[in-house]
A = this chain, B = another copy of it.
Amino acid sequence: MILVRRFENADWLAVWPLLQATFDAGDTYAYSPQSTEAEIHEAWVELPSATYVAVDLQGHLLGTYFIKPNQPGLGAHVCNCGYVVSPAAQGRGVASAMCTHSQAEAVSLGFLAMQFNLVVSTNERAVRLWQHLGFAVVGTLAQAFRHQRLGLVDALVMFKTLVDVD
């Protein structure tokens, strides 16, 4: 059972170590492995429009995601999300549950589309999952991600229209 709800301040105690370990691996997100807790709190909690956690019935953290406008003003109707799943909860559909939740939240927040700017091409499981959930690869950025094990690898721009406007 996966519950997705709004982030509360008390969640940070569990969210920060998960984010720290994720960014430290340097294989999925651009945030520097040397990022401070304050920098990541700003990026994950303060700047976004909203932040969420996925928890099990006992309240254990399974994952977290944020949603924010991808551009200012005249591009602010397209949102951007970032998702992180706890290593202990891999393979249980947490990313899928969070992405599905985020699409509904995005629409209720007034966004018309969702864009991922830098999906690491070697993160094949994520690429397949986003495609399964309706996102298209709309662009490839040559060597745009400095993978901590593999060196410079391509990154993908992925996009999904959520609300059709004629």
Of the candidates A35, A78, A117, the one having the most CB atoms from chain B within 10 angstroms of its own CB is A78
B155 touches A157 (CB 8 A): no
Nearest chain B CB to A48 CB, angstrom units: 15
Given A139-B157, A157-B139, residue A145 in contact with residue B30 (CB < 8 A)? no
A75 touches B152 (CB 8 A): no
A71 touches B118 (CB 8 A): yes
Please give, as numbers and ranges, the residues of chain B lying within 8 Å of A147 by CB-CB distance.
Answer: 74
A1-32 CB mask vs B (1 if < 8 Å, else 0) is 00000000000000000000001001001111
Nearest chain B CB to A119 CB, angstrom units: 11
Q: How many copies does the complex hold?
A: 2
A109-127 CB mask vs B (1 if < 8 Å, else 0) is 0001101011000000000
B74 touches A26 (CB 8 A): yes
B73 touches A33 (CB 8 A): yes
Please give, as numbers and ranges, the residues of chain B lying within 8 Å of A155 by CB-CB distance.
Answer: 75
A148 touches B74 (CB 8 A): yes
Given A152-B165, A157-B157, A165-B152, residue A74 in contact with residue B143 (CB < 8 A)? no
- Which A-B residue pairs are the 8 nearest by beta carbons? A139-B139, A32-B73, A30-B75, A138-B139, A30-B71, A74-B146, A30-B74, A139-B157
* Chain A residues close to B by CB (< 8 Å): 23, 26, 29-35, 43, 71-78, 112-113, 115, 117-118, 138-148, 152, 155, 157, 159, 161, 165
- 9 A-B pairs with CB atoms under 8 Å apart are A23-B73, A26-B74, A30-B72, A32-B73, A34-B73, A71-B144, A74-B147, A138-B139, A152-B165
Extra contacts, 12 of them, besides A32-B72, A138-B157 (Cβ < 8 A), are A30-B76, A31-B72, A35-B73, A73-B146, A75-B145, A78-B144, A113-B141, A138-B140, A139-B157, A142-B159, A152-B165, A157-B157
